């Protein structure tokens, strides 16, 4: 169900009943059966489900020659790409005191999916709250656990930021979730604004646009099987999504989206989980032991990236007094006492630290290295060594992030060396092809 259809439907509805809209907060109307069917389709759990229709294999050198056409593939059941919708979990209202705010200069439509009714709200602002699995709009109990919030215009602001599409507010098993439904390409552009770097040339942004689109396509593909109500969260647990932001270089980013429209990276005709990081630090992902390369062989890159060497976080250094480090470590080891020694207990061949041993006056402790991210400031990755003396500890590290997949700064320097987006993607995601979603 595309928004334009729903919107035309709303417009017709609005024009028909506007003369009898009263000035009360809400006026509800029964739905015509045809509309009911359309609205049901709009929230069907199989909306945008992805099937694995096969497309012809591309020529083997498809990535090497930038002039080659890109083969097409179907990502979902829709007849065109515009019907692919991304569902992003943007908030969870964890307790009764939580509320979120929407504004829209032309008011709102609220579609109650539980009770099959549509509500026109003639207010420019609404507050949404959840109490005991029921949604309240401006303190009015809608007696529903499942509603859609839409604006008749493109100007729908959620917590002060313009967002594309519409919002579904849904309670399942005591989780009160707010999910933004929006078009694929709008989502990719928004994420690109958050993930790209000011001043980067068009070709790097094309690389990122394709990686972002591939990642979300893979999530759509996976979640269609699980039938969860959202595909991704809006945080860097997936990809940072902040709504319709225009942070920098809007024209360049828009061009990157348009020039790569619909293109994704595939492996065995499925969209890949195209992970990416700020700087890989020269680490070889194929030597990592904590990654399931069987399910994602395209992440097992065995050629080192040294293109990011000029980036300041290719190699970094932290120094702490033992007293200062003790205070940080006590957040994960409360009984540590005063730190005496900290050393690496387990490291894989790629150089990723897995376990550390911490010795303090309170005892000896083994800690998962990933837990250090939360407590040691500016620990940019788990690829590090530890040294020091009686009073200080020095941590020397490489790269920023999980150090797997696309290296963003490496891609930037490769573009400066003359590489195009196809060369770059084939380097960072080996044994993959590019296809265009149709």
Which parts of this chain interact with Zn ion (CB under 5 A)? 280, 305, 308, 407, 410
Task: Please say which residue, 165 or 430, places its beta carbon nearer to Zn ion.
Answer: 430
Q: What token pair was written down for 235?
A: 């945080």
Q: What token pair was written down for 14?
A: 């609005």
Contact 97, 91 (CB under 8 A): no
Quote the CA–CA distance of 213 and 183 in Å, as a whole number.
11
Task: Please say which residue, 187 or 409, places its beta carbon nearer to Zn ion.
Answer: 409
To the nearest whole angstrom, how small is the minimum distance from the Cβ of residue 400 to Zn ion? 10
Contact 232, 88 (CB under 8 A): yes
Task: Please say which residue, 351 or 410, places its beta carbon nearer to Zn ion.
Answer: 410
- 218 membership: H or E segment, kind and range: helix 202-226
To the nearest whole angstrom, how small is the minimum distance from the Cβ of residue 62 to Zn ion? 24
Task: Please say which residue, 78 or 406, places its beta carbon nearer to Zn ion.
Answer: 406
Quote the CA–CA distance of 18 and 11 in Å, as a whole number.
10
Quote the CA–CA distance of 67 and 283 in Å, as a whole number.
32
To the nearest whole angstrom, how small is the minimum distance from the Cβ of residue 70 to Zn ion? 25
To the nearest whole angstrom, how small is the minimum distance from the Cβ of residue 350 to Zn ion? 13
Q: What is the DSSP letter of 145?
A: S
Task: Please say which residue, 272 or 407, places its beta carbon nearer to Zn ion.
Answer: 407
To the nearest whole angstrom, how small is the minimum distance from the Cβ of residue 231 to Zn ion? 28
Task: Please say which residue, 271 or 282, places its beta carbon nearer to Zn ion.
Answer: 282
Q: What is the DSSP letter of 160?
A: T
Quote the CA–CA distance of 197 and 128 in Å, as a whole number.
34
To the nearest whole angstrom, how small is the minimum distance from the Cβ of residue 279 to Zn ion? 6
- 141 membership: H or E segment, kind and range: strand 140-141
């Amino acid at each position: 169900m595309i928004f334009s259809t729903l919107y035309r439907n709303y417009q017709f509805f609005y024009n028909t009943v506007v003369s009898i809209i009263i000035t009360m907060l809400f006026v509800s109307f029964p739905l015509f059966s045809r509309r009911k069917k359309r609205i049901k389709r709009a929230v069907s759990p199989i909306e945008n489900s992805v099937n694995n229709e096969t497309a012809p294999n591309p020529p083997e050198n498809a990535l090497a020659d930038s002039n080659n056409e890109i083969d097409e593939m179907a990502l979902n059941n829709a007849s065109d790409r515009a019907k692919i919708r991304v569902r992003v979990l943007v908030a969870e209202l964890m307790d009764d005191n939580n509320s979120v705010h929407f504004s829209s200069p032309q008011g709102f439509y609220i579609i109650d999916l539980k009770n099959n009714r549509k509500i026109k709200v003639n207010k420019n602002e609404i507050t949404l709250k959840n109490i005991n699995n029921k949604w309240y709009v401006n303190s009015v109990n809608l007696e529903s656990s499942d509603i859609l919030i839409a604006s008749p215009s493109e100007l729908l602001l959620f917590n002060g930021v313009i967002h594309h599409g519409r919002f579904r507010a849904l309670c399942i098993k005591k989780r009160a979730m707010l999910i933004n439904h929006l078009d694929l390409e709008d989502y990719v552009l928004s994420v690109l604004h958050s993930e790209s770097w000011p001043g980067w040339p068009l070709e790097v942004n094309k690389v990122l646009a394709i990686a972002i689109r591939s990642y979300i396509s893979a999530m759509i593909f996976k979640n269609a099987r699980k039938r969860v109500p959202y595909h991704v969260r809006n945080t860097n647990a997936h990809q940072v999504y902040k709504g319709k932001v225009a942070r920098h270089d809007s024209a360049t980013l828009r061009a990157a989206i348009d020039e790569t429209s619909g293109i994704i990276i595939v492996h065995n005709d499925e969209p890949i989980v195209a992970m990416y990081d700020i700087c890989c630090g020269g680490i070889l992902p194929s030597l990592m032991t904590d990654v399931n390369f069987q399910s994602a062989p395209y992440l097992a890159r065995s050629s080192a990236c040294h293109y990011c060497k000029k980036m300041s976080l290719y190699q970094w250094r932290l120094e702490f007094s033992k007293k200062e480090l003790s205070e940080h470590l006590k957040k994960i080891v409360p009984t540590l006492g005063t730190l005496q020694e900290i050393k690496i207990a387990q490291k894989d061949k790629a150089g990723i630290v897995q376990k550390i041993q911490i010795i303090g006056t309170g005892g000896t402790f083994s800690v998962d290295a990933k837990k250090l991210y939360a407590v040691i400031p500016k620990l940019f990755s788990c690829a590090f060594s530890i040294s020091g003396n009686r009073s200080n500890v020095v941590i020397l590290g490489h790269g920023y992030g999980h150090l797997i997949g696309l290296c963003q700064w490496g891609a930037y320097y490769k573009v400066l060396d003359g590489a195009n987006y196809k060369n770059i993607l084939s380097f960072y995601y080996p044994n993959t092809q590019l296809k265009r979603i149709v």
